[in-house]
Amino acid sequence: MPDLEVNLAKTYDAVIIGSGAAGGMAAHVLTTHGLHVLMLEAGKKLPIEQELRSMEWPYDNANRGALPPDSHSLSFNEYTIRKPPYGAGFEKAKHLKSYIGDSDYVKNIVVDERENPFTGTNYAWVRARCLGGKTNIWGRLALRLSDYDFKAKDRDGYGENWPISYSDIQPYYDKVDLYLGITGVKENLPYLPDSIFQRPTKLNCAELTLKQSLQKMGRVATQYRAGVTSDGLKHNKYRSRCYGRGACERKGGCDIHAAFDSPTGLIYPAQDTGNLTLRTNSTVREITVDPNTGKASGVHFTDSQTMKDYHVKAKVVVVAASTLESARLLLLSKSRLYPNGLANSSGHVGHNFCEHVMGPGIAGKVKDLVGKPPTLDDGRPGGFYLTRFRNLAEKHPKFIRGYGFEGSSGSAMFPRGTDVHGFGASFKEEVRKNQGAYIGMGAFGEVLSRYENFVDLDPVVKDKWGIPALRFHYKFGDNEHRMAEDMKETAQEMFEAAGFEIMYVSDRVLTEGWSIHELGTARMGNDPKTSVLNQFEQSHDVKNLFVVDGSAFVNASCQNPTWTIMSLCWRSCDYLADELKKGNL
């Protein structure tokens, strides 16, 4: 087999589909348990340090960091006015990218929209097809969920509770913190549990002013909890501690891997055990089933470059292709035994799709800081996180659930305030004088999980590899729009209370998908009629099939999901290894 490291004659203990946060964690846990694991990743292994160039100054880049002229990235208006598939109408551009692909540093990481089309309702679907997936460029805000999320139905009667409580996942959050590293400050908040933090970053002057003002309102702004190792990790030779070098705010990742990414954090260490075989350029198109037992028998995959097809066998199939791709794969895996797709006797695969609503936000200026000498404010992996405050002790009359804000202030490599009027020397002077005085923040709110929000397979449109594309049936609802109005009002109220001069405030809701936090398409639950997976992310229908990414979420919470995806995955893979050893799979 000259073109394959995969042994097609062998039955692997487990095959993992995808190499992002979820796939990487599955590889780490299963190989540590001594299982022989094959990981199949659709994208390439990129020379990632050369892609990211974290030490490059804007003026050293031919396009000042922007995309090369032969490429186009979709704007808010284009997402909203046009209809998917978005490729049509952009024929002049050789490459078409999602909105996040508007930087030279991510151009090879995010997918080409034309090669990877989807149809249906508008959606800003950001995908990264390469080793490590989206973790190469994620924003690193690493938050825990709490029983305010896991048992949200008990509080407001909406949706379903998760089949787990915080106490079930808490030991796994701890393991993830210790294995991968996280910065932050303890706040003792019941709705946003603390992690085991390494050295935190510092809030700057304007951020501290906001924090102190919020304290009087009973609200909390805390240091950005970043999935970044600030003290270093003795057990990991592939990652360095954060040196605060300043490119963190730029779109792109961290080339010394202080910020967590799946390859250096999880996959290379898993390869070092000798138990992991990794094959990139391997697009899985179907999970196969043994017609006699009804169990998963392996996967069909296509070499993404040569287009050749292969089948590989495994005792257990672990799906970690990211929330929407995992649902697509289950729906693609139809057979005589499973005519609606694999693991789909409930009809819930692709449904209950949820995420975060984004858009409302604010920018202001701290008058006392105008004209002050510049400070080093972007040499840190984040500014502040303003935690949820709605629907905790009191019920809001207009909407359920909550939202938080991400924000920052101060001088940065790409200065704020370059949209001021003027030109030449006076323009430069104006930018210099003001740039360190800006402070801004944007909200992320929970989108309710609803059965009516779903994806299915398009009957006509296929991707470059001939695989049916996803079709979206997804819209924000009234609760999200009412929440967005409140986001704007409270942002204004909090900036006014802090004494900031308000430059801009918006209640504009960004296109669905903008948060890049897709969740819920194969939710977990105790009832096989209304859920796809059990509490260990194991299919109710097919016991040797696990779906270990954001698909399993029952609701979106308003906290960013990646740390929870990895903690759940660790818990599920411990269970998987145990069950396999007992002969139960």
- Residues found near ligand SF4 in the complex (CB under 6 A): 54, 228, 242-245, 247-248, 254, 256, 258-259, 379-381
Residue 139 binds to ligand FAD (criterion: CB under 6 A): yes
| Contact of residue 245 among ligand SF4, ligand FAD, none (CB under 5-8 Å per partner type) | ligand SF4
For residue 500, give the nearest of 382, 402, 407 by alpha carbon. Answer: 407
Question: Between residues 503 and 547, which has the closer beta carbon with respect to ligand FAD?
Answer: 547
Query: Are 577 and 37 spatial neighbours (Cβ–Cβ below 8 Å)?
Result: no
DSSP 530-561: T-SB-TTSBBSS-TTEEE-SGGG-S---SS-S
Query: Are 514 and 143 spatial neighbours (Cβ–Cβ below 8 Å)?
Result: no
Question: Between residues 224 and 476, which has the closer beta carbon with respect to ligand SF4?
Answer: 224
Question: Between residues 232 and 294, which has the closer beta carbon with respect to ligand SF4?
Answer: 232
Q: Which DSSP state fits 100?
A: G
Query: Are 276 and 14 spatial neighbours (Cβ–Cβ below 8 Å)?
Result: no
Query: Are 308 and 66 spatial neighbours (Cβ–Cβ below 8 Å)?
Result: no
Per-residue b or e along 555-571, where b marks 16 or more CB atoms closer than 10 Å to that residue's CB: bbbbbbbbbbbbbbbbb
- Binding segment (CB under 6 A) for ligand FAD, from list 40-48, 208-216, 358-366, 574-582: 40-48
Least distance from C-beta 85 to ligand SF4, angstroms?
A: 34
Q: Which of 74, 384, 561, 571 binds ligand FAD (CB under 6 A)?
A: 561
**Under rule CB under 6 A, which residues in 469-528 are in contact with ligand FAD?**
516-517
CB 482: neighbour CB atoms within 10 A?
14
DSSP 218-282: T--EEE--BSB-SS--TT-TT-------SGGGSSS--TT--B--HIIIIIHHHHHTT-EEEE-SE
Least distance from C-beta 239 to ligand SF4, angstroms?
A: 10
* DSSP collapsed to 3 states, 352-415: CCECEEEEEEEEEECHHHCCCCCCCCCCCCCCEEECCCCCCCCCCCCCCCCEEEEEEECCCCCC
Question: Between residues 43 and 163, which has the closer beta carbon with respect to ligand FAD?
Answer: 43
User: 546 forms bridges with which residues in the sheet?
Assistant: 318, 538
Interface mask (CB under 6 A) for ligand FAD, residues 140-179, using x and -? Answer: xx--------------------------------------
**Under rule CB under 6 A, which residues in 2-21 are in contact with ligand FAD?**
17-21
- Binding segment (CB under 6 A) for ligand FAD, from list 121-129, 170-178, 476-484, 533-541: 121-129
Q: Which of 554, 565, 573, 576 binds ligand FAD (CB under 6 A)?
A: 565
Helix (H, G, I), strand (E, B) or coil at 432: helix
Question: Between residues 139 and 265, which has the closer beta carbon with respect to ligand FAD?
Answer: 139
Residue 43 binds to ligand FAD (criterion: CB under 6 A): yes
Question: Between residues 182 and 278, which has the closer beta carbon with respect to ligand SF4?
Answer: 182
**Under rule CB under 6 A, which residues in 275-314 are in contact with ligand FAD?**
283-284
Spatial distance between the Cα atoms of 309 and 321, rounded to a whole number of angstroms: 19
Least distance from C-beta 510 to ligand SF4, angstroms?
A: 25
Query: Are 186 and 175 spatial neighbours (Cβ–Cβ below 8 Å)?
Result: no
Least distance from C-beta 25 to ligand FAD, angstroms?
A: 8
For residue 340, give the nearest of 473, 522, 162 by alpha carbon. Answer: 522
| Contact of residue 200 among ligand FAD, ligand SF4, none (CB under 5-8 Å per partner type) | none
> Which residues of the chain form contacts with ligand FAD (CB under 6 A)?
17-23, 40-43, 100, 126, 128-129, 133-135, 137-141, 283-284, 320-322, 325, 329, 516-517, 549-550, 560-562, 565
